Amino acid sequence: MPTYRHPGTVITDHRFPVPLDHADPAGEQIEVYAREVVAAGRERDSLPWLLFLQGGPGGRSPRPVGRDGWLDRALDNFRVLLLDQRGTGRSTPADRHTLPLRGDAPAQAEYLAHFRADSIVRDCELIRRELLGEDGRWSLLGQSYGGFCVLTYLSYAPEGVREALVAGGLPGLRSTAQEVYRAAYPRVQRKVEAHYARYPEDVETVRAVVRHLRERVVRLPGGGLLTAEAFQAIGTTLGAGSGSHTLHYLLEDAFLPGVPGGQLSDPFLAQIQGHLSYASGPLYAVLHESIYAQRSVSPRATGWAAETVRAEFPQFDVDRALAGNEPVLLTGEMIYPWMFTTDPALAPLREAARLLAQREEWPDLYDPRQLARNEVPVAAAVYHDDMYVDTGDSLASARAVRGLRTWITNEYEHDGLRVSGGRVLDRLIRLVRDEI
């Protein structure tokens, strides 16, 4: 196991073979990578373990350089394991290069069906037993989708958990994908309207960009097609604490000055590509709606829920806004089928994604009865009017998990764990241990 040093930390690489399908442990194996981080000078101490479950789906774990952010606070008490969930980071990859090697689209879709939270939790249990022993227990920290995984963990393997911390990631236990997006569009609209109130000049800049995209074919530096609807997805930035300011500075560079007829600038297009391309995390797009699918809630397919539900919110229609001289509403954490045409990182996976959207009878991810009798201490930060995770769903789930304590705050947005310099994690640790 390679070990190396960063300022204030000692890092050890781990690789674990795990079954692709945990129902067939003797079948195909894939590899899961994890990075162990411990404070320098404490490498040989008997420290409790903290498993970090990253947001996503399809997001790799953080790549820390020294004791930065929330990790600095965690290392005061823990030996931390940063997990690259299956298919991400340095784990066995699942992307446009590797998935076609598995065969046709049905074979790819069948493979990808094993990459949800239930499989991730079973991976974690194998890793826990290898690192801590059969009776060892560790603490969990779940950010966003990582919090979804935490509730799956508490549903099906609570015996492996000492305590659980969740930051902006309490899912609706009984919400369908359609219900999730039906609640999401109004939240996104509020965030966009708040941005326009802060930066009124951005209303016309956004209208000018979408008019330009309606009239011309525009390619991003990597070859992706920037349509008006693709540009609308830049609204996902508004879910972060500094997102409104980030978006404003992005829009400042939209057009080259002095070019007749208007020309979108290269810096603008490069930044847009950085925000919208799924090259670094294709599983986010491919699996996003399936993370809400459970047969006991609805046996039906998710059926491109964000696209279907969007028809109920005509105010998001670009052409209607342009014709009515209205502000163009941006969109948020929604995945649409056309993304698998415009984004070169997703195009080879288009048919597999369609089959996943049509798949029915997904296994349940949560066990409400087990959560109702939960004995593991749990604390969760719920961000008021979180753009990505519905506050109402989060609070209902908090009530459904026995013993879960919540901290409801509007001091931070969805990225509070990352940007708070350890303050969010510190409060959760004190909350779960009844110190406050």
Distance of CA 210 to the CA centre of its chain: 27
How far is residue 152 from each of residues 169, 173, 214, 291, 399, measured CA to CA in Å? 12, 10, 43, 11, 16
Using alpha carbons, list the distances in angstroms from residue 268 to 213, 250, 263, 431.
Answer: 14, 6, 10, 43
For the chain, give percent helix, strand, coil, nearest 5: 45, 15, 40
**Alpha-carbon span 323 to 312, nearest angstrom:** 19
Angle, alpha carbons 54-176-412 (nearest 5°) = 40
Percentage, residues of the chain above pLDDT 70:
100
Strand 49-53 and strand 161-167: pairing? unpaired
Confidence of residue 1 (pLDDT cuts 50, 70, 90): confident
Confidence of residue 318 (pLDDT cuts 50, 70, 90): very high
Q: Is the preceding peptide bond at 57 cis, omega within 30 degrees of 0?
A: yes
Question: Alpha carbon of 109 to those of 30, 286, 287, 353: distances in Å?
Answer: 16, 9, 10, 7
Digit-coded pLDDT (tens) for 326-367: 999 999 999 999 999 999 999 999 999 999 999 999 999 999
Residue count of the chain, please give it. 436
Other beta carbons less than 10 A from residue 219's beta carbon: 12
Instruction: Say if CB 177 and CB 289 are below 8 A apart.
Output: yes
Q: Which fold has domain 3-173+366-432?
A: Rossmann fold (3.40.50)
Q: What pLDDT was estimated at residue 245? A: 98
- Banded model confidence at residue 436, pLDDT cuts 50, 70, 90: confident
Beta strand ranges found along 298-432 (DSSP E): 378-383, 404-409
363-404 confidence digits (pLDDT tens): 999 999 999 999 999 999 999 989 999 999 999 999 999 999
Q: What is the mean pLDDT of the chain?
A: 97
Q: Which residues are catalytic?
A: 144, 386, 414
Cα separation, 325 vs 207, whole angstroms = 9
**181: pLDDT strictly greater than 90:** yes
Phi, then psi, of 78 in degrees rounded to 5 = -130, 160
Q: Hey, how many other C-beta atoms are within 10 angstroms of the C-beta on 410?
A: 9
Q: Specify whether the CB–CB gap between 151 and 371 falls below 8 A.
A: yes
Token pair, residue 177, equals 């994908």
pLDDT at 259 over 90: no
Which residue ranges does the chain devote to CATH 3.40.50.1820?
3-173+366-432
Query: What tens digit of pLDDT does each residue of 209-258 get?
Result: 999 999 999 999 999 999 999 999 999 999 999 999 999 999 999 999 88
**Cβ neighbours, 10 Å, residue 248:** 16
Q: Which residues pair with 142 in a beta bridge?
A: 53, 166
pLDDT in tens, 76-87: 999 999 999 999
| Cβ–Cβ < 8 Å for 165, 75 | no
Hunting for tokens 């008019």 — which residue is that? Answer: 211
> 131 exposed, middle or buried (CB, 10 Å; 0-12, 13-18, 19+)?
middle
Res. 262 pLDDT band, cuts 50 70 90: confident
Question: Residue 13 pLDDT > 80, yes or no?
Answer: yes
Q: How does pLDDT run across 140-171, given as a tens digit for each residue? A: 999 999 999 999 999 999 999 999 999 999 99
Contact by Cβ (8 Å): 335, 291? no
56 Rama sector, left if φ>0, alpha if ψ -120 to 50, beta otherwise: left
